[in-house]
Structure 1
Amino acid sequence: MTAATSLDAAGERIEGRFREVGVTGHLYAADIDTGREIAVRGDALVVLASVFKVPLLVTLHRLAAAGAFDLAEAVTLPPEGRTSGPTGISAMLDEVRMSLRDLSALMITVSDNAAGDVLYARVGPAAVNAAMDELGLHRTRVVADGRELHDALLRDAGVADFGDLWERLDEPGLLPSLRVLDPERTNRSTPREIARLLASIWRDEAAPADACAQMRRLFGLQVWPHRLSSGFPFDDVRVSGKTGTLPTIRNEVGVVEYPDGGRYAVAVFTRSLGTGAVMPEVDAAIGTTARMAVEALRS
C-alpha cells in the first residue's frame, strides 16, 4: 500500500466515524515538520465558535511585540457589564483586576468569555483579520466577540436565555435562522488554515519566539480532557488545544507531540444532526478521529 493510499484509507475510516456519531465532520491534520497531511473536507468553511480566540491570541502577541501595548498592563473589570459565561471571570461576582497577559491565560485555558472580550476590545477585529492576512490565512475572519455571538444567538431565536433556546432548537426552521451557525455570517475559517496557524506558533513563525512559547504554554494548560485529549490517553504524549462550542457545534484544534519529537497540528470541527446540549459520543469522536489522523501520518 502506498503512502497516499494509506492516507486515503484513513480518511475513509475517519468519515465513517463521523457518520457513526451523527455529525458532519471536518478534519485537517499535518506533520508540523514534514508537511505530510490528511484531510476530510479540510478546506470547507466552518464555524469557529470559541476557536476564534486562537487568532485573537496570536494578534494580541503580535501587537504587543510591535510595542502597541504591554501585556503586563493591568485592567479592572467591574461585575457590571461583563460578558456572560460559565467559566473564569464570567462566573465571578466581584471586581477583578488582572493583567492583559493573565486575561489571555483565562481566555485560552478555560475559554473565559469575559476575559476574551476585554482583549477583543483592546485588539479589534480589523487587527485580527489583518494579522491573519499577513500570515497567509485569508479565509480566517473574526467579526464578533463573545457577547455579540451570545446576543445574536438569543435575538435570532427570539428567546430570553439559553434555557429557552435549548427547548426550541428542534423547532422546524429555527437552526437555519441562527447567524452564529452560518460560517458565512460569523467567525469562520477552515480546518487547514487553523491547523496552519497552530503550526506557525509551534515553529515560532506566528510571532517572536518568546511570544510563541508563551502561547504554546497556554494551549498546554487547557483544562478540557473530553475531546482532543481523550484520543491520546498516554502519559508521554502531550496534547495542547482550544475548544469551541455552540448549539450543534463541537470543535477542538490543537497540537499533539510525541516523545520521539513528532509534532502534529490537528483541527476537528463537527456539526451534529442532534440538538442535545450533552453529546459525549461526539466529544469522544473528536479525539478518536484526531488519533486516527495522527496515526496515519506516523505510519
Structure 2
Amino acid sequence: MSEANPEAWGAGAPQRESTTEVRADVAQRIEAEFRSAGVTGFLHVTDIDTGREVAIRAGEPVVLASVFKVPLLVTFHRQAAGGLLDPAEPVTLRPRDRTAGPTGVSGMQDEVRMSLRDLTFLMITVSDNAAADTVLDRVGRDAVNATAAALGLHDTIVEVSGRELHETLLADAGVSSFADVWARLDEPGMPSRLRALDPMRTSRSTPRDMTRLLSMIWRDEAAPPDGCAAMRRLFGLQVWPHRLSSGFPFDDVVVSGKTGTLPTLRNEVGAVEYPDGGRYAVAVFTRSPLPVAVLPRADAVIGTAARLAVESLRRP
C-alpha cells in the first residue's frame, strides 16, 4: 500500500465473519448486572481473530465522550505514516489558549512545549483535553471522520472538540462551572437539555463500531504495524484501569483501554488478551438515571459485563 494514501489502510482488510453468540442465559445475566448497577448498558465484545461476538444494543448510537480520542489517535498515526505530519513537530501551548480539564496540560499553569507525539500520549493515558484538542486542530476534524468512513465505521462521527463539549455543557445548563452542571442535573428536564448527553447532538458511535476499530488496531490494519503498536502501548498505559480491568483481576491477562465520562455516562473501550493467545475487543457504554458523580457499581459493571461476554466466547 502506498504510504502517501492513508485511506488505503484498512480498506482491504479481511472481513471476519460475525456470529452473534449471545445465548439467552448470557444475555440475561449481563442485563441483570446492568439493572443491578442501576444503568442501561450497550455492549459489544468480539473475538479479534474469529469475529465471534456478544452484542447487546450494539448498534444503537452512544455518546463517545473522551472515547473520541481513539479515532483521533488512529487518524494521527495514519497521517504520520503518510507523511502528512511529523510526530516530533514541537507545539507550544499557552495557558490562555488551552482547553479546560483536570489532567495533563489542561491543568498546568505555565506555558508548555512538547511534540505532537507526546500530546497523543497525554490524551490517551490521562485523557488530557488540551492535548487532544491540539492534536485535533493539527489533524483536522474532517480527516478524523474521513478515517472513520474509510475504516467502515459508518456510525462514528466526531462532532465536537473537548473545548466545544465543555462549552455546550455550561451553556445548556446555564452555569459557569462543571461542578454546577452536576448541581443542576436533577432539575426536571435538565438532562434532555444537555446536547453533550444526546448521541444525536454530539460526538457519537456504536459499541460495534468501536470494537471494529479496536480489532483493526490489534490486527495492524488500522494503520501501519508500527503505528498500531504505538497505539496499543498507549492504551496499555491508561491510568484509570478500574472499569474494564475490574472484571479481569488476573496477573496473566492484559487489559488495555480508553475511558469516557460525562454526567450520568460511563464508558470504556479496550482489549483483553489472555496468555493462550485469545484476544477480545470490548466496548461497554452505560447511562445512569442518577445525577451523582461517584457511582462505583456503575464503574464496576463495565468489567463484570465484559467478563461475562468474554467468558461466553471462550467456551466451546
TM-score (norm: length of structure 1): 0.97
**Corresponding residue for 1:113?**
129
Q: Distance in 2 between matches of 1:72 and 1:5?
A: 44
Residue type of the alignment partner of 1:119? V
Q: What is the Cα deviation at residue 103 of structure 1?
A: 0.3
Find 1:204's aligned residue among 176, 198, 220.
220
Summarize deviations over 1:209-245 as a string: whole Å, max 9, x none: 1100000000010011220011111110000000000
**Corresponding residue for 1:254?**
270
Within a 5 Å distance, the mapping from 1:61-210 to structure 2 comes to: 61-210=77-226
Q: Tell whether the 8 Å contact from 2:20 to 2:55 is kept in structure 1 after alignment.
A: no
SS of 2:95's equivalent in the other structure is coil
**Corresponding residue for 2:34?**
18
**Corresponding residue for 1:241?**
257
In 2 relative to 1, CA 170–72 (structure 1 residues): closer, same or farther, beyond 3 Å? Answer: same
Q: Distance in 1 between matches of 2:153 and 2:80?
A: 20
Is residue 2:252 matched to residue 1:220? no
Residue type of the alignment partner of 2:119? L
Is residue 2:290 matched to residue 1:287? no
Q: Which moved more, 1:195-204 or 1:5-14?
A: 5-14
Q: Tell whether the 8 Å contact from 1:143 to 1:187 is kept in structure 2 after alignment.
A: yes
**Corresponding residue for 2:314?**
298
Q: What is the Cα deviation at residue 64 of structure 1?
A: 1.0
Q: What is the Cα deviation at residue 6 of structure 1?
A: 6.2
Q: Tell whether the 8 Å contact from 1:7 to 1:297 is kept in structure 2 after alignment.
A: no
**Corresponding residue for 1:38?**
54
Provide the identity percentage. 68
Q: Distance in 1 between matches of 2:289 and 2:162?
A: 24
SS of 2:306's equivalent in the other structure is helix
Summarize deviations over 1:97-140 as a string: whole Å, max 9, x none: 11111100000000000100000111111101100111011110
Q: Distance in 1 between matches of 2:70 and 2:21?
A: 33
TM-score (norm: length of structure 2): 0.92
Q: Tell whether the 8 Å contact from 2:26 to 2:308 is kept in structure 1 after alignment.
A: yes
Q: Distance in 2 between matches of 1:101 and 1:10?
A: 41
Q: Unpaired segments of 5 or more residues in structure 2?
A: 1-18
SS of 1:80's equivalent in the other structure is helix
In 2 relative to 1, CA 78–292 (structure 1 residues): closer, same or farther, beyond 3 Å? Answer: same
Q: Which moved more, 1:80-89 or 1:143-152?
A: 80-89
**Corresponding residue for 1:60?**
76
Q: Distance in 2 between matches of 1:112 and 1:133?
A: 25
In 2 relative to 1, CA 6–25 (structure 1 residues): closer, same or farther, beyond 3 Å? Answer: closer
RMSD: 1.1
Aligned residue pairs: how many? 297
Q: Unpaired segments of 5 or more residues in structure 1?
A: none
Q: Tell whether the 8 Å contact from 1:83 to 1:147 is kept in structure 2 after alignment.
A: yes
Q: Distance in 2 between matches of 1:4 and 1:162?
A: 40
Q: Distance in 1 between matches of 2:21 and 2:79?
A: 43
Q: What is the Cα deviation at residue 5 of structure 1?
A: 7.3
